[in-house]
Structure 1
Amino acid sequence: MFKAIYSNPTLRIILPFLSIVLVFGSFLFFGWNKTDPTDYIADEPIHQNEKDILFLSNSINEKSPILKPYGLAIDSKGSVYTGSADGNIYKIKTDGKVELFAETSGVPIGLVFDGKENLVSCVSGLGLAFYDTKGNENVLLREDSEGNPLTNLYGLDISSDGTVYFTQVSKKFDYEESYLEELESIPNGRILSYDPRTQEVKTVLDDLYHPTGISLSSTEDFLLFGEKYRHRVSRLWLKGKKTGRDQFFITHLPGSPSLISSDFQRNFWITLSSPRHPAIDKIQNFPIIKRIIASLPSFFRPKEGELAFVFAMDENGDIVYSLADYSSSKLGSITAAIPYGSGLILAGFSSHKIWKWKFESLEIFF
């Protein structure tokens, strides 16, 4: 039988073709309801007169066990902390030595110290947790007030009264399937708050497009948050006549916002960890095409590029600094930036390194 098929030129062409159609048809059949995409017209990216200067950064953790660092935090003694893809949190001392600080029950993303020197983290796969000075894990939240799991958290910040504000990037997709958020184009994310005194969990703002980094203003009257797949940053008012209202802070970004931090000069430091995907932008108005792509196995997922882009905005919404690395692939993707001494500490997600960039580097432009 097989010999007869092999000897027939027509069948030798048709059968492989039908096999391919059958395989892809199976993917479409079983994966068709994975997403329910809607259409929208993507905005055009606008560059922010960024200076190509981040390549002058230097690594502070050569030959360390850190893998894909995401968030950053700095303690009162100047030591740098970062999460790793292996589930650990590492501490980089001021002398450059790297040591294991804590073993987590997931993958730590956002990191912030509270007023008691506890390191609070959004731990992917777990929820909200804090680690005391000895690195012991204490789980604060696994579920919201309705019993829904909080396994897909991202960024956080802590107010002066101890309230933790944090983002849940999606109520539908897990961390590994986050790319489906961009294809579906439906607001599945939200911002929540946790009061450690009452252990109350509240939804502060719902229906967001993959909210990522978050940071409170200096007077805590509003908080800033990024939306990865809308390439924008917005603010939500927490006090005053505008309480509960949100508004755009900056839009048309050339990349996807990641974590956000603030400094003592009332500036927000925002990182863009991946560039816009031109092909995805172009098909956003075609739900059927997006549904087909989402139905295919994950190895057909759109490849996320690398981008080292950091910019600072003051609380009025004006750009203070705009820094990038276009001339090299040295830094790869930068997911977090924190002011430190005379410069910035940067988390190099794809380079597996923590970088130090100095403000004096700007002198080459004058």
Structure 2
Amino acid sequence: MANSLTKLRYRHVPDHLFGEVLSKPWIDNAVPFIALIATLGTFMALQPSMFSAYGLVDLSRQLAEFGLLVVALTVVMISGGIDLAIGSIFALCILTIMTCLNVLGWPLGTSVLATAGVGAFCGAINGVLIGFLRLRAFLTTLVTLIIFRSIYELIFPQLGTAIVMGMSDSAIWDALSFNTFLGLPYAIWIAGIIMLGVHVVLSRSRFGWQLSAVGGGRRSAFNAGIKVRTVVFLAYVSSGVLTGLAAVLYGARMNSVGSDTGVGLELGVVTAAIMGGVTLGGGRGSVSKALMGAIVVLIVQNGLLLRGVQGPTAAMILGLILLLAAFLDVRWVKNRHKLLQSSYISPTWFELGKRPQVGPGSPFEINDKLKDVEVIGLGEIEGPEDVVLDADGNLYAGNRFGDVIKFHGPDHKTWEVYAHTGGHFLGCNFDRHGNLIGCVGGMGLYMVTPEREVVKLTDETPRNPLSIIDDSHLRLPDDMDIAPDGRIFFSEATVRYGMDSWAQDAIESRGNGRLICYDPKTKTTKTVLRNRIFPNGIVCLKDGESLLFNETWACRISRYYYDGPKKGTVEPVCENLPGYPDNINRASDGNYWVALFGMRTPLLDMAMTEPAWRRRMTLRVSPANYLYANINVGCVIKINEKGEVLDTIWDAEGRNHSSITSMREHKGYLYLGGVHNNRIGKYRIPGADPDWTAMKDYWGNA
């Protein structure tokens, strides 16, 4: 009964989704979004008139300029700075636009440029002091707040009357002040276009990426070659320009300026930015976050005003909101990674069959045939996960440094770097034209031409709409083979983990892998089979409609039909193996070699039925000390299409070839690879065809 309840619990309660949600970048928007919904609900109940048609139009006019101010501050905060002078700069820019239009009579375009120029100049002053002279942002902008405010108070009395008495004759200015489009003021449309442009710059441009890098860590950004001081300077200049544009929209709405314009505005802007989730520490922030924070603060301010809350009390409430937002920001930044780390790995209940015997009389009887095999490239290659030979007998394998190594036949004594892919070259094979095609961990499916040109074939698939994590980018493409019609089928062992954390998928044993098909004729990639338990080795059968594939943690080999009357079906071929199957390849007698890279143990088999225990293990033990398979022995088995075990080859003591991940037969020899090994093995197969090659057998003389 306990086992049955455990099965039901882990089958129907997808607790791994919580960790996947926490891993999403947009989870940072969850807190401001909840705050926005709560604020809307509260003031809809307390002050419903604020959300009438007239109230929403008025709110949108305010949001246009206030939202731009929050976006302006966001740009600075992403770079790791702060701008307390934004209210004073805003006041100077409003004074500029009103003077240019109502006093000097300048054209609207010139006036807007002058206003943006004043904002840029003020921002440049802050940028020079903070970026190039490396002064503290908080104290510097506090000082410039006082200076800019003093300049405003010196100039305003001399121009105030003229501004009030004057009037612009620009029709566009009047339209900006009063007209609407689709029921919304022009100002909100203009502000929306500007915010969209800022969003593109922050998320899609080099400057935006550099801004986040500088905010995330200035020393690291400097070491990466980023001109940190220039980026900080440009952040303040950009903020000043956006502040100037916000002042233009404010001037169009109010058509006036007062002695208290901009006073205390920095409190609301900073509150909105932090409330929106723009972190005080720098490196994280977006336009959408800024906009959500701006809406929350505007609703609170207008709602308190309509409720008759006096100015000092409203300021105190806004200050408390700022304090709460800052507290949540600091605690979230500090603890989110810990929460994600403690919840992302989510083991499930998985029961293997009774472990088969490997003693005398068993199909898997232990021997020591690999004890004294020939060794190729000892100490010269690291991590040859898969090996393959061309028609001339040259041997190829990838290393962990991103190279494809070529050992020259027939003796394989000398070698060279055949190509550099930049990632670990895993399962590979030659097509009928002599192109070497392989899976590159963390990168995708790649091809190396006979001219040694490295070509990316595919690195993504259409995203599964039901997946929370982004499963479009290939994280761990593992092994591949080519169908007779040229289509390439390859496995992605897991969509949740990468090359450096694949062992955590073994702890989960959830079924995070899939089979993928790439069609070189149409250059399209699609997932053909999902939810497999670490699918690994693949070999296409000559029937042109099916393939064999291994599921490592499930200790089984299955047959998948990609064409024909059984298209889409999966049939078990060989289940309940004594070890964990990795790659699978053709044998000269029409059967198939399968590498077992590790052997099952009773304790690990039992742990697979104790998901809560495995979860506690990941929380209390370092990954290096996880309970793991026995990878100290090497084993290769031979099976037929029915899954019958025909032969076994062991290195029982693990002297030469422990943890075998691949093998390839060629002219009477079996070549052995291992992702943890620093050599390639060469084993003479008794009675094997000395002229047989995989390429000729599969592709003929083409």
Shift of 1:242: 2.1
**Does residue 342 in structure 1 map to residue 668 in structure 2?**
yes
Alignment of 1:1-366 (within 5 A): 31-46=341-356, 47=358, 48-50=363-365, 51-64=367-380, 66-94=381-409, 95-96=411-412, 97-146=414-463, 148-296=472-620, 297-304=622-629, 305-360=631-686
8 A contact 2:574–2:644 mirrored in 1: no
In 2, the alpha carbon distance for the partners of 1:144 and 1:80 equals 31
In the alignment, the residues of structure 2 paired with residue 361 and residue 224 of structure 1 have an alpha-carbon distance, to the nearest angstrom, of 25
What is the RMSD computed on CA atoms of the aligned residues? 2.3
Q: In 1, are the aligned partners of 2:475 and 2:497 still within 8 Å (CA)?
A: no
In the TM superposition, residue 340 of structure 1 has moved relative to its aligned partner by 1.3
Mark the CA change 1:134 to 1:278 in structure 2 (over 3 Å): closer, same or farther: farther
Please report how far the alpha carbon of residue 295 of structure 1 lies from its aligned counterpart in structure 2 after TM superposition. 2.9
Contact 1:35 1:184 in 2 (8 A): yes
Give the structure-2-normalised TM-score. 0.46
Greater strand content: 1
Report the Cα distance in structure 2 between the residues aligned to 1:80 and 1:87, rounded to whole angstroms: 17
The range that moved more, 133-142 or 75-84, is 133-142
* Inter-partner Cα distance in structure 2 for 1:263 and 1:300: 37
* Aligned 8 A contact 1:259 1:335 in 2: yes
* Residue pair 2:573, 2:641 contacting (<8 A) in 1 also: no
Query: Per the alignment, in what secondary structure is the counterpart of residue 179 of structure 1?
Result: helix
Instruction: Tell me by how many angstroms 1:52 deviates.
Output: 2.8
Query: Residues of 2 paired with 1:266 and 1:181: CA distance?
Result: 33
Q: Shift of the alpha carbon at 1:263?
A: 3.2
> Which letter maps to 1:343?
Y
Moved more, 120-129 or 241-250: 241-250
Report the alpha carbon displacement of residue 197 of structure 1 after superposing the two structures with TM: 0.7
Could you list the runs of 4 or more consecutive aligned residues of structure 1 that deviate by over 6 angstroms after TM superposition? none
Q: Residue 346 of structure 1 aligns to which amino acid in structure 2?
A: L
Q: Distance in 2 between matches of 1:44 and 1:282?
A: 10
Q: C-alpha separation between the residues in 2 aligned to 1:175 and 1:197? A: 29
C-alpha distance 144-27 of structure 1, shift in aligned 2 (>3 A): closer
1:54-107 per-position Cα deviation (integer Å, ceiling 9, x unaligned): 21311122452x101111111111111011111111011113211110111211
- What are the superposed Cα offsets for residues 163-189 of structure 1, whole Å, 9 maximum, x if unpaired? 000001111111222122222221110
State the 1:284 CA deviation: 1.6
What displacement does 1:221 show? 2.8
Q: Aligned pair in 2 of structure 1 residues 110, 328: CA closer, same or farther (>3 Å)?
A: closer
What 5-or-longer segments of structure 2 have no aligned partner? 1-335, 464-470, 689-702
Q: C-alpha separation between the residues in 2 aligned to 1:60 and 1:171?
A: 34
- Amino acid aligned to 1:57: V
* Identical-residue share of aligned pairs (%): 26
SS at match of 1:285: coil
Structure 2: distance between partners of 1:184 and 1:352: 29
Counterpart CA distance in 1 for 2:384 and 2:427 is 10
Q: Structure 1 CA distance, aligned partners of 2:402 and 2:666? A: 25
The 3-state SS of whatever aligns with 1:148 is coil
Contact 2:633 2:654 in 1 (8 A): no
Distance 1:181 1:223, change over 3 A: same
What is the letter of the counterpart of residue 165 of structure 1? F
Higher RCO structure (Cα 8 Å, ≥6 apart): 1
Instruction: Select the structure of larger CA radius of gyration.
Output: 2
How many residues matched? 337
C-alpha change, 1:27 and 1:127, in structure 2 (3 Å) is closer
Taking a change above 3 Å as real, the CA distance of residues 186 and 349 of structure 1, as seen in their structure-2 partners, is closer
Q: Secondary structure at the match of 1:215?
A: strand
**CA separation of 1:173/1:348 partners in 2, compared to 1, >3 Å: closer, same or farther?**
closer
Shift of 1:289: 1.1
Q: Distance in 1 between matches of 2:579 and 2:643?
A: 18
Distance 1:179 1:62, change over 3 A: closer
Q: For the Cα contact (< 8 Å) 1:30–1:295, is it kept in 2?
A: no
- What is the alpha-carbon distance in structure 2 between the residues aligned to residue 264 and residue 116 of structure 1? 21
Normalising by the residue count of structure 1, what TM-score does the alignment of the two structures yield? 0.86
Higher relative helix content: 2
C-alpha separation between the residues in 2 aligned to 1:190 and 1:73? 24
Q: Which secondary structure does the structure 2 equivalent of 1:213 belong to?
A: strand
Q: Deviations over 1:26-71 (max 9, x none)?
A: 998553311222213222221333443121311122452x101111
Go from structure 1 to structure 2 and tell me whether the alpha carbon gap of 1:178 and 1:314 turns closer, same or farther (over 3 Å shift).
Answer: same
Q: One-letter code of the match for 1:74?
A: L
Task: Tell me by how many angstroms 1:266 deviates.
Answer: 1.9
